[in-house]
Amino acid sequence: METRPPKLIEVIVGLLIPPARREDVLGDLRERQTSAGGYLADAMRVVPLVLFGQLRRTGDGLLIAMEAYTLFMVLRGSPWSTWLQLPQLALPILAALAALALRDVYAKPAQAVDHPSDPAGAFDVALGSSVAAASIAVAAACLPQAVLYVLNVGPSWLLPRPVLVRCVLGGFLMLIPVRIAWEMLFRYGGYRRITMQAIRRDTLTTDLYRRALERRRDTLRRTWLWYVAYLVPMSVLTVLPRSLGSHRALSTIFEAAVVLAAVVILRTLAGRLADMLQQEIDSIG
């Protein structure tokens, strides 16, 4: 006779397991269970491993970098006071990133939406997902501030109220387009709209089609030259005059690091698109 764990314990364990793995993990736990205590001990061992595995599958380093950069640019105040703000910025940004990661882990598997034939449907799904993610992120960013306020922690770890308001409004508004762009580019194959515009396979021979894709691929892989050629001189022109004749070397370095981070993120995004084009080229045969 098949034995089942107590219903309440199984429901609680099921809530802790990501939806994408819930059914099969609960089935395995049920098959191995011999007692309520043994089931609970087995779940305490298995659930963290499942969470970590799902986090590795759903997490994306480039998306995390884009979200962190967006939150940093929203939260930071005067460029010259950023060094002093780092303790204040670290907690809300880390809390928001953790919440976004957990949200992706526990998100229900989205229904398949064919982007080329149903772009409106893909955008609606991406918009709803992005609004939910941005809401969770700003709520999580405010949570450590509320805890620190209740604990009466010194102001060095607390964001000023105007900055906190900017976090809620600006973070919400800026994270939505980041998440939408990500969903549309990589989940629904929308990268083709950017990388393959004006390249129509039905109007070109196989050889010409391949050459056109290779040119786009090579162009994307050289995009770091565009960023460096534009951002670096502009940064020198805007940052250097303000730092001359002052003792703001660290702030100047920090400004340069912020620009460099933007270059790296954009370069990585272009590289990801170039790799997708390479897969398209390989599929031609």
Q: Are residues 121 and 236 in the same domain?
A: no
Residue indicated by tokens 């960013």: 141
Give the model's pLDDT for residue 133: 92
User: CA distances (Å), 227 to each of 221, 252, 264, 271, in order?
Assistant: 12, 19, 9, 13
Q: Are residues 17 and 98 in the same domain?
A: no
Q: Are residues 28 and 93 in the same domain?
A: no
Mean pLDDT per 10-residue segment, the chain (285 residues): 73 89 88 83 90 88 89 70 68 92 82 47 81 92 84 75 78 89 77 70 80 83 66 59 53 69 81 86 80
What's the total number of domains in the chain? 3
Q: Considering 189, 213, 235, which residue would you say is the last residue of a domain?
A: 189
Give the model's pLDDT for residue 101: 93
Q: Are residues 113 and 130 in the same domain?
A: yes
Q: Are residues 34 and 124 in the same domain?
A: no
pLDDT digits (tens, 9 = 90+) for 205-224: 888 888 888 888 887 777 66
Q: Are residues 110 and 172 in the same domain?
A: yes
CA distance 143 to 67: 18
CA distance 273 to 279: 10
Give the model's pLDDT for residue 227: 62
Q: Are residues 101 and 134 in the same domain?
A: yes
Domain region containing 20: 7-54
Residues across the chain:
285
Judge whether 1 lies within some domain: no
Give the model's pLDDT for residue 239: 55
Give the model's pLDDT for residue 248: 58
Judge whether 2 lies within some domain: no
Q: Are residues 38 and 114 in the same domain?
A: no
Is 88 within 8 Å of 158 (Cβ atoms)?
Answer: yes
**How big is the CA angle at 151 (ends 147 and 156), to the nearest 5 degrees?**
85
Q: Are residues 206 and 142 in the same domain?
A: no
Q: Are residues 181 and 146 in the same domain?
A: yes
Q: Are residues 64 and 175 in the same domain?
A: yes
Question: The pTM is what?
Answer: 0.74
Judge whether 272 lies within some domain: yes
Give the model's pLDDT for residue 231: 60
Q: Are residues 63 and 120 in the same domain?
A: yes
pLDDT digits (tens, 9 = 90+) for 3-53: 677 788 888 888 999 988 888 998 888 888 878 888 888 889 999 999 999
**219: its two tokens:** 């162009």
Phi-psi region of 189 (alpha: psi -120 to 50; beta: other; left: phi over 0): left
